[in-house]
């Protein structure tokens, strides 16, 4: 049991707590355990299990999802997504520069179109750029053609903002799936 991901334990405990809480609410409010009021008794553990499978399950939805690389060195990769953002990205870049640290920025095409100079600064300061889609739509809800369009529009936005940019082959799907 030692090699079990601690997140599984947290989700198991939270699922049990939420389920018992929903059952206690039904008892206190004297709601019947059937009919529309019982929907919460089903939805509470179902949503908890959903998050367990989406965010911590070892299998992926057909895509190789990497969270670790085996290396001989002790390293940590810093990554940021949903930008570039005029509110957050300059401060992040300043802090990274102050410590001489590089990171990977998973950018949204629409954010790049709004702030192309921030993308150019990210690249000029030696950071890696990956894609996070164009409009942050959850890919799991899109058709293959729509996912391809999201990726291609994001790539095009990066090319227009910084033609010399090299985009890494990494993609961070919005919402983690």
15-61 pLDDT tens trace: 777 778 878 877 888 877 777 767 777 777 777 777 666 655 554 55
The whole-number pLDDT of residue 27 equals: 82
d(CA 118, CA 85): 8
> Are residues 84 and 119 in contact, defined by beta-carbon separation less than 8 angstroms?
yes
What's the whole-model pTM score? 0.67
* Strand runs labelled E in 21-143: 79-83, 104-107, 128-131
- What is the crossing angle of helices 39-55 and 6-29, to 10°? 170
Average pLDDT on 91-100 reads 96
- Do the bridges between strand 128-131 and strand 104-107 make them parallel or antiparallel, or are there none, so unpaired? parallel
Q: Is the pLDDT of residue 8 over 70?
A: no
């Amino acid at each position: 049991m030692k090699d079990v991901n601690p997140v599984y334990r947290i989700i198991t405990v939270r699922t049990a707590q939420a389920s018992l809480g929903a059952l206690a609410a039904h008892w206190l409010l004297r709601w019947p355990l059937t009919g529309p009021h019982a929907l919460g008794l089903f939805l509470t553990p179902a949503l908890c299990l959903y998050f367990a499978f989406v965010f911590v399950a070892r299998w992926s939805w057909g895509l190789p999802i990497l969270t670790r690389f085996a290396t001989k060195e002790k390293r940590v990769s810093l990554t940021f997504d949903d930008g570039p953002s005029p509110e957050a990205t300059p401060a992040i870049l300043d802090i990274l520069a102050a410590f001489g640290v590089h990171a990977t920025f998973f950018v949204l095409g629409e954010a790049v179109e709004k702030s192309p100079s921030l993308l150019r600064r990210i690249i000029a300061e030696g950071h890696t750029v990956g894609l996070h889609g164009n409009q942050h739509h959850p890919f799991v809800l899109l058709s293959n053609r729509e996912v391809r369009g999201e990726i291609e529009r994001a790539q095009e936005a990066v090319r227009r903002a910084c033609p010399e940019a090299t985009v890494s082959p990494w993609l961070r799907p919005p919402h983690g799936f």
